[in-house]
Amino acid sequence: MSVQPQVVRPTQLCLTMLGVEVPSLEVRLPGLSHDLIAEAQRLPEAHAAGGAERILSLSDRLWFKAKTGRWRGAATLLSEKDQAQLGGPPVDLAPWWLGAGGFRRDGDPADFYAFLAAAAKRDAKSSSAIACSDRWLPVDWDWERLRLEHAVAWVYQVRRMIGGLIARSLRTGRIYQADFMQYSVKAMARACDGDTYLIIGFDHIADPKVLAVILTSVPGVDRDSWMVEPGDVIGIEPAPGEIIWSTILPPGTAAQLLEAFPDEGD
């Protein structure tokens, strides 16, 4: 099984420091087209190889340098010990964070790393305490943004899955099935009396949010256009625990789905 590469997520504070506007939820923050954010994506691999450069002025936790052109950044790898302090989801969902960024200005107090050291020293709980870098850790906004990005991506994946099943059935007239999470969904499209009937079968789907996503995955068909079929419908007999829904595809929807999902060689 392939291992997904780790990404480095910029915090909201970091985006503000870089002058980057927060994009819509369809855009994942690690993929933003900013030179420093793109360069930071190299850190997990560099760290694994022992090549990540530490920011020595921050000693309360490990921070690493991200550098490209004039841009300078500070990124950290969260540990399990951070979970209690941060209060977000499990840190292994997003272990790497780019907490701050700015410009290199050699010999100037406004130089990014000089600023970082001075700010952390000011945040220390006493003049003799270790400098504190907590201000650059992810906060509630950052964890909520991560959750919403995952939710939007999940909805997109489900809708792509449903659209693909329907397109394959439109070409062959056969039933196609896909499994996701603990659910199983099958679809069949068939011409009957001049209309194109679409049948969707759900296996033990109890979550109304999941049901709503599936029933709104077909272009031009709103949720109120679906009907529950109590028994056999155009040759499909519900399995135990299965619910069959049916609707009529609006004119043009079939062509739209066939164009969006090319033939995969059924």
Q: Are 185 and 176 spatial neighbours (Cβ–Cβ below 8 Å)?
A: no
Q: Which two tokens stand for residue 18?
A: 């870089």
**Residue segments in the chain with a per-residue pLDDT below the cut of 70:** 1-4, 83-84, 87-89, 127-128, 193, 204, 206, 230-241, 264-266
| pLDDT of res. 2 | 36
Residue type, 156: Y
Q: Is the dihedral of CA 164, 168, 174, 176 positive or negative?
A: negative
Dist CA 3 CA 193 (whole Å): 50
- What are the φ/ψ torsions at residue 109 (nearest 5 degrees)? -60, -20
Q: 3-state SS string over 124-179?
A: CCCCCCCCCCHHHCCCHHHHHHHHHHHHHHHHHHHHHHHHHHHHHHHHHCCCEEEE
Dist CA 30 CA 251 (whole Å): 40
| pLDDT of res. 3 | 44
Q: How far is CA 180 from CA 159, 162, 166, 246, in A?
A: 12, 11, 16, 21
| pLDDT of res. 192 | 72
| pLDDT of res. 98 | 98
| pLDDT of res. 78 | 92
Dist CA 121 CA 127 (whole Å): 8
Letter string b/e over residues 56-77, b meaning 16 or more CB atoms within 10 A of that residue's CB:
ebbeebebbbbeeeebbbbbbb
Beta bridge partners of 71: 68, 103
| pLDDT of res. 240 | 66
What is the distance, to the nearest Å, from the Cα of residue 26 to the centroid of all Cα atoms in its chain?
8
| pLDDT of res. 108 | 80
DSSP state letter for 215: H
Q: Which two tokens stand for residue 177?
A: 């099935």
DSSP string, 42-108: THHHHHHTT-PPB-TT--SS-EEEEEETTEEEEEEE--TTHHHHH-SS-GGGS-EEEEEEEE--TT-
Q: Are 36 and 1 spatial neighbours (Cβ–Cβ below 8 Å)?
A: no
Dist CA 134 CA 123 (whole Å): 8
